[in-house]
Amino acid sequence: MKFFIDTAETNVIRELAETGLVDGVTTNPSLVAKLGRPFGEVIAEICEITPGPVSAEVVATDYDTMLAEGRKLAAIAGNVAVKVPLTWDGLRACRALSDEGTAVNVTLCFSANQALLAAKAGATFISPFIGRLDDIHIDGMELIEEIRAIYDNYFYDTQILAASIRGPNHVRLSALAGADVATLPPDVLKGLANHPLTDKGLTAFLADAHKAGVTV
């Protein structure tokens, strides 16, 4: 499973990228707006930090303007994946951009039918928002499983990018359900390494080593 970081904080991306555990980055206008910097400048910096896909989202809602914005974003760097919403105009823009060789992340997916349309439109990634489904008492994992079954049935290459992940359990379940990618807030990615028994065991090992005078 690939791990993307869901943030626009370049210092955080740089820190986590140095671990070798990060395969890409997802952003959105809300995340970039918090920085108070020009959108294109932030995307360009992130693309320099990581060679993996960097999702940069259009802000238009109509086909023609989405296509123009998508082309502008794609021109920033070769690893930009243009993010478009799962609307009819977004699907049209996805088809056009994909035909031009641009990677496209179709976002705000909440049903298997939507995911099927995105795959047919040539999406590189489909982003089902599992946390938001859980918020309204719908099983987000069931959606991941349905999309996985459909894509496998018809050999679609579109990668399932589990989004709106709220904690480590979402990551585990997404991996079990067959998601190709999980995009994680930085604190969730760091939290995957945590377990109380690991801490307890390490404390015991270090105490024994100290008593025995073990050095390396």
Mean pLDDT in residue range 95-106:
98
Q: What is the pLDDT of residues 144-185, one digit of tens each?
A: 999 999 999 999 999 999 999 999 999 999 999 999 999 999
49 has pLDDT over 90: yes
Q: What is the pLDDT of residue 132?
A: 96
Domains and CATH numbers, the chain: 2-212 (3.20.20.70)
- Considering 2, 34, 83, 120, which one is annotated as catalytic? 83
Rounded to the nearest 5°, which phi and psi values hold at 51? -80, -10
Name the residue with tokens 């809300």. 30
Distance CA 119, CA 138 (A): 23
Catalytic-residue membership of 72: no
Q: Residue 194: is it exposed, middle or buried by C-beta count within 10 angstroms (0-12/13-18/19+)?
A: exposed
Which pTM was predicted?
Answer: 0.95
Phi, psi of 136 (to 5 degrees): -105, 25
